[in-house]
């Protein structure tokens, strides 16, 4: 598998439970050596897709390849090439951190000496060396999650599946996990990440697929997906509500677009193209007109806003075909 060959490919995957489809024509192509985000509302099919690609669940129709191997025909080869961190932490509380890692290494057929060496290396990498010989039952939630991720890396995987890996973690632990994931990708691992935290996908993912009703409804870089809902905006909060009409006229003249006025919070908002120039011109014009400004800022659309817009359209049946953006 070269960098030009996708590390993960899914074509038309279907998975049915009774009369309901968890996946209904699911397509995916993940470039090698990248972090790829899989986003969607609860029940959209994200975890089902991960379980199928990791050979934990059979699919009813379609095709899938992971690390160059056919998921249906070569499941053992797929398992040898991947790592998986699921939503539930899979460590043994009765064992120490080091014993957990050595056990996972031996289960992956590492020789005993190599398993101990790799365990010590990962304990250091994930900041667990000082607690290596303590029972995992005494670990905090963040420590247990880091130990769980380390266990999936006892043999360096070509593809790593992370299914909501930071759920319940505090911000410091989450940032530490992000750093560990970036380090893995720098060393050549491909990561498929599902998460409920839109900020996490925005920070980590090179590209994102948005999943709804069992299929991908949009795909692209975080910046491109955010751009789908509109341009950057300039936002102002005035000190005096009485000056809103005058300020709105000034802003509309400069930006050349519609101005949204929220009188209750004394706020003006308008789309801009040349964001820096527009900000400077608006500030200068308002100052010349003696308009008292309490706050002024440029704001880009958030991934949360793009996610809500895309999934609302998909649920309404408006966007049934995948939208691919740069």
How does DSSP classify residue 264?
G
Pair 258, 154 in one domain:
no
Pair 150, 290 in one domain:
no
Q: Is residue 19 part of a domain?
A: yes
Query: Rounded distance, CA 17 to CA 197, Å?
Result: 27
> What is the pLDDT tens value at each position of the chain, 326 positions in all?
555 789 999 999 999 999 899 999 999 999 999 999 999 998 899 999 999 999 999 999 999 999 999 999 999 999 999 999 887 888 999 999 999 999 999 998 899 999 999 999 999 988 899 999 999 999 988 888 889 988 988 888 999 999 988 877 778 777 877 888 888 899 899 999 998 888 889 989 999 999 999 999 999 999 888 887 767 889 999 999 999 999 999 999 998 878 889 999 999 988 888 888 989 999 999 999 999 999 999 888 888 888 888 887 555 443 444 555 55
Pair 212, 250 in one domain:
no
Cβ burial 275-293 (10 Å sphere, 16+ → b, else e) = beebbebbeebbeeeebeb
Among 227, 261, 287, the domain boundary falls at 227
Among 197, 227, 257, the domain boundary falls at 227
Pair 151, 175 in one domain:
yes
For 88, the domain range is 8-227
Q: Which two tokens stand for residue 94?
A: 């009765």
CB neighbours of 3 closer than 8 A, spacing ≥ 6? Answer: 31, 32, 33
Please spell the DSSP secondary structure of 230-254, one letter per residue. ---EEEEEES-GGGHHHHHHHHHHH
This prediction's pTM: 0.77
> In the chain, what's the furthest Cα-to-Cα distance?
77
24's enclosing H/E stretch is strand 20-30
Pair 147, 174 in one domain:
yes
Query: Rounded distance, CA 209 to CA 211, Å?
Result: 6
Q: Which two tokens stand for residue 108?
A: 């992956």
User: What are 163's strand-pairing partners?
Assistant: 194
Query: Rounded distance, CA 72 to CA 111, Å?
Result: 29
Q: Is residue 1 part of a domain?
A: no
Pair 107, 202 in one domain:
yes
Pair 134, 195 in one domain:
yes
Pair 214, 244 in one domain:
no
Q: Which two tokens stand for residue 316?
A: 């309404």
Q: Is residue 310 part of a domain?
A: no
């Amino acid at each position: 598998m070269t960098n030009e060959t996708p590390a993960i490919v899914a074509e038309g995957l279907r998975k049915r439970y009774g009369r309901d489809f968890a996946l209904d024509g699911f397509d995916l192509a993940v470039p090698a050596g990248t972090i790829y985000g899989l986003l969607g509302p609860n029940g959209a099919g994200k975890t089902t897709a991960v379980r199928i690609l990791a050979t934990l669940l059979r699919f009813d129709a379609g095709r899938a390849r992971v690390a160059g191997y056919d998921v249906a025909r070569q499941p053992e080869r797929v398992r040898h090439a991947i790592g998986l961190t699921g939503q539930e932490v899979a460590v043994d509380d009765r064992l120490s951190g080091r014993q957990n890692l050595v056990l996972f290494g031996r289960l992956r057929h590492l020789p005993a000496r190599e398993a101990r060496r790799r365990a010590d290396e990962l304990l250091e990498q994930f900041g667990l060396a000082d607690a290596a010989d303590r029972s995992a039952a005494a670990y905090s939630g963040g420590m247990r999650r880091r130990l769980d991720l380390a266990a999936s890396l006892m043999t360096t995987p070509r593809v790593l599946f992370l299914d909501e890996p930071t759920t319940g973690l505090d911000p410091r632990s989450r940032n530490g996990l992000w750093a560990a994931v970036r380090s893995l990708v720098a060393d050549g691992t491909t990561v498929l990440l599902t998460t409920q935290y839109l900020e996490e996908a925005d920070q980590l993912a090179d590209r994102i697929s948005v999943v709804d009703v069992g299929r991908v409804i949009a795909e692209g870089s975080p910046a491109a997906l955010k751009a789908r809902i509109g341009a950057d905006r300039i936002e102002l909060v005035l000190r005096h509500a009485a000056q809103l009409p005058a300020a709105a006229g000034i802003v509309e003249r400069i930006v050349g677009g519609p101005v949204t006025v929220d009188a209750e919070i004394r706020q003006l908002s308008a789309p801009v193209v040349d964001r820096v120039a527009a900000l400077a011109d608006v500030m200068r014009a308002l100052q010349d007109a003696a308009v008292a400004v309490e706050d002024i800022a440029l704001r880009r659309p958030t991934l949360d806003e793009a996610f809500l817009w895309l999934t609302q359209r998909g649920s309404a049946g408006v966007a049934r075909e995948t939208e691919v953006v740069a």
